[in-house]
Amino acid sequence: MRELSEWSVSDSGTGDDEIVANGNRLLIGNGYLGYRGTVEEADASYLPACNLSGVYDRRGGLWREPVNAPNGLSVRLRATGAADGDHPLSIKDSSLASHEQVLDFRYGVHSRSSAWRLGGAEVRVRAERFASLADVHLLCLRYSIRADLDIRLEIRQGIDCVLWDINGPHLEGRAFARDGGELSVSCRTQELGIPLAVVSLSALSFEPASEAVDESSGHFRILALDAKAGVDYTLCVFSSVYTGLDKDGDPLAAARASAGRAAAEGYASALATQKEKWDAIWEKGDVVIEGDDYSRRALRYSLYQLQIIAPRHAEGLSIPARGLSGQTYKGAIFWDTEMFIAPYFLHAEPAVARNFIAYRIATLDGARRKAREYGYRGAFYAWESQETGDDACSHFNVVDVFTGRPMRTYFRDKQVHISADVAYSIKRYIDITGDSSILDEGGLEVILECARFYISFAYYSPERGRYEILDVTGPDEYHERVNNDAFTNRMIRHCLDAARECLSLLGRTAPESLERIVAKIGFGADLGRLEELRAALYVPSPGEDGVIEQFDGYSRLEDCGLDELRSRALDPREYWGGANGIASGTRVIKQADVVLMLNLFGADYPPEIKKANLDYYEPRTEHGSSLSRCVYSLLACETGDSEWAYPFFRKTAEIDLTGDSKHYAGLVYIGGTHPAANGGAWMAAVLGFCGLSIVDGKIILKPRLPAAWTSVSFSLSLRNVEYAVVVETGGYTIREK
């Protein structure tokens, strides 16, 4: 049974589905690595993982995906002296008497308590672990055993090299070394030969009766323990992971030094430091909802999920669509980061949002290569972006559930709005922070190359006397290869506007830099084309009923209800989009599209237009993406209906608590955590219900709290000043910290 408390979530489930869900739900991390919420004795069938940020590998012709490091916190316990025979003590064993796992999301600590009844004896294990924020390479574990009768136990502790991979194995050339309680594994990735080292250093509170080494599936110490009744036996494990991408010299030497420092410090001291680090994070990033305990807890949990994947440790890293919870979606960075994750950090910790931009700057050449691949100029950013910015997205990204064959999809080559999304995030960063230095550090080059891509992509219709954007796929992925998608066209218009404004801004503040950048990329010849496209680009406008047609011809599709469409599905896993999907010939859409546009550019549209589109599109939206509901919540707040918006917020905030989300697209597993929804929950609460906006460097608040909420308190970082904000139903207070 799952329970959500003020700062913790617990679960006692031991079924296969519950084990997988808890791997996501009870995740710990620190931006460098994410360690799934599995038990210490987990083998590969439990889907354990220590996923590393920014480290990718490809095996053969399969999809590239992030690397899952060998598990340095593996501990397996066997009762070898039980009255009813030997027992491997796992949560799947029939002798299990009780079990609970808990995630303390205030301090990022995972704990478990499990007991087994072996004849007349009970053996209980209590363990807790955390991913260090002080040393992001480090995982710390304290594991204690207690029996109520004398019993002989065997402890198998060390580094498990039999990993859960979707398209692995990814590591080869394993080499083991041992020095007392220190075990190590050195290996390398298959594709690029990136070296990787894991060290597991253990400290025991007891003397084992005997000790041996096992190297069959990893590198383990086998410890025999004659446990006395009522005595606690504890081992503390300090495991460190380094790769050749880290700038610390030899990975093995660095991992040994890291684990050695932690062991010398001791578990209790390392945990105290961990709590200090988390206190500082929550001081900036917490949001406190009063009057509604569940919403407060669910939102805090969502923010925890964002904080454990924030790449503070290195420049030029971003956040994948499933965070660090596994290898789903190839560990790739999508538009999710710019549009749904960045806003939280932009307001709470701008340096993290700046790092997302640094990632796009660093991967600009990959975007240029993609544009050339399709015959265009400029930067066409990857739909699924990994470390180089080259597109990891396949042309056959979904498997047909009926034939088992890959289906041609158009995410990679037709979702051209991605470049405009990147440009939007840079311009928004400058508007909020006032920090235009990012332009001179590559930001302007990115914006101009995105604009150049659209200059080469747009089609001029002589008959209509306008530029159009043809053959694209918008955020609603169920309708592919459409013309003049409203969201896409409006985002392109913003990209062109951003290019003009940033050219002007840098011209005023750093004219020499502007001249250098324009000359470097030869953009002088495109300045006139930029103005021409901007002036004549078609952006769909509201019809007589106030509704903006999502794309050309959308209104001619069958107006089929959601229930009717669901009844047509032959398999619950079938994909609704594509050429043959059941939604493609109807007006049913996957997620917010026009509604998202109205949120991003709300100043362009009066309330009655927003209301008309909200009322029209929501009944036709399946919400088949975790990105969708928060957008409807935001626009409902804008139109004055906070009560209608409230359940959409709740559904978004609890997505990783309940595990109630899509796990398959066709036959492709897409499970894991949902950072974009986590960010969307913050957006709905703070931008929606509190009505926060930043205009010309000033804080604007328009409270519209739901009836269940009495107040919302949060911190805001604006132009190097920290503010404490309290929003109540009848007003608000803002003070400098």
Given the residues 477, 574, 618, 638, select the one marked as catalytic. 477
Q: What totals of helices (H) and strands (E) does the chain contain, helices first?
A: 22, 31
> What's the order of all strands across the beta sheet hosting 138-147?
3-4, 8-11, 96-104, 109-118, 121-131, 138-147, 233-243, 195-204, 182-189, 171-179
Q: Which of 199, 169, 196 is nearest to 263 (CA)?
A: 199
Name the residue type at position 439: L
Burial bucket for residue 25 (CB in 10 Å: 0-12, 13-18, 19+): buried
Catalytic residue status for 477 = yes
Strands 668-669 and 664-665: what pairing?
antiparallel
Which letter does DSSP use for residue 385 in this model?
B
3-state SS, residue 68: strand
- Gap between the Cα atoms of 338 and 352, Å rounded: 12
Contact 278, 108 (CB under 8 A): yes
Residues 412, 414: Cα–Cα separation, whole Å: 6
| Distances 633 to 432, 487, 657, 686 between C-alpha atoms, Å | 22, 18, 19, 11
The β-bridge partners of 140 are: 130, 238
Where do we find the tokens 């604007």?
Answer: 700
Place of tokens 């669509």: 321
What distance in Å separates the CA atoms of residue 600 and residue 621, rounded to the nearest whole number? 19
**Contact assessment for residue 184 and residue 252, using Cβ atoms and an 8 Å cutoff:** yes
CB 343 within 8 A of CB 327: no
Residues 672, 325: contact at Cβ < 8 Å?
Answer: yes
State phi, psi for 176 to the nearest 5 degrees: -105, 150
CA dist 20 and 39 (Å) reads 11
- Rounded Cα gap, residues 531 and 193, in angstroms: 47
Rg from Cα positions in the chain: 27
10 Å Cβ neighbour count for 225? 23
d(CA 681, CA 653): 5
CA gap 354, 350 in Å, rounded? 6
Pick the closest to residue 36 from 322, 311, 317, 337 (CA basis). Answer: 322
Burial class (CB in 10 A: 0-12, 13-18, 19+), 279: exposed
- Contact yes or no for 455/417 (Cβ under 8 A): no
State whether residue 259 is helix, strand or coil: helix
SS3 146: strand
Strand order of the β-sheet with 50-57 is 28-29, 33-35, 50-57, 65-68
Identify the burial level of 536 via C-beta atoms within 10 angstroms of its C-beta, where 0-12 means exposed, 13-18 middle and 19 or more buried: middle
Q: How far apart are CA 293 and CA 159, in angstroms?
A: 41
Say what angle helices 486-509 and 511-521 make with each other, to 10 degrees: 130
Pure H helices in 180-329: 251-265, 267-285, 293-307
Residue 676 tokens, joined: 């974009």
- Cα distances from 476 to residues 144, 637, 660, in angstroms, run 50, 22, 21
Which residues are catalytically annotated?
477
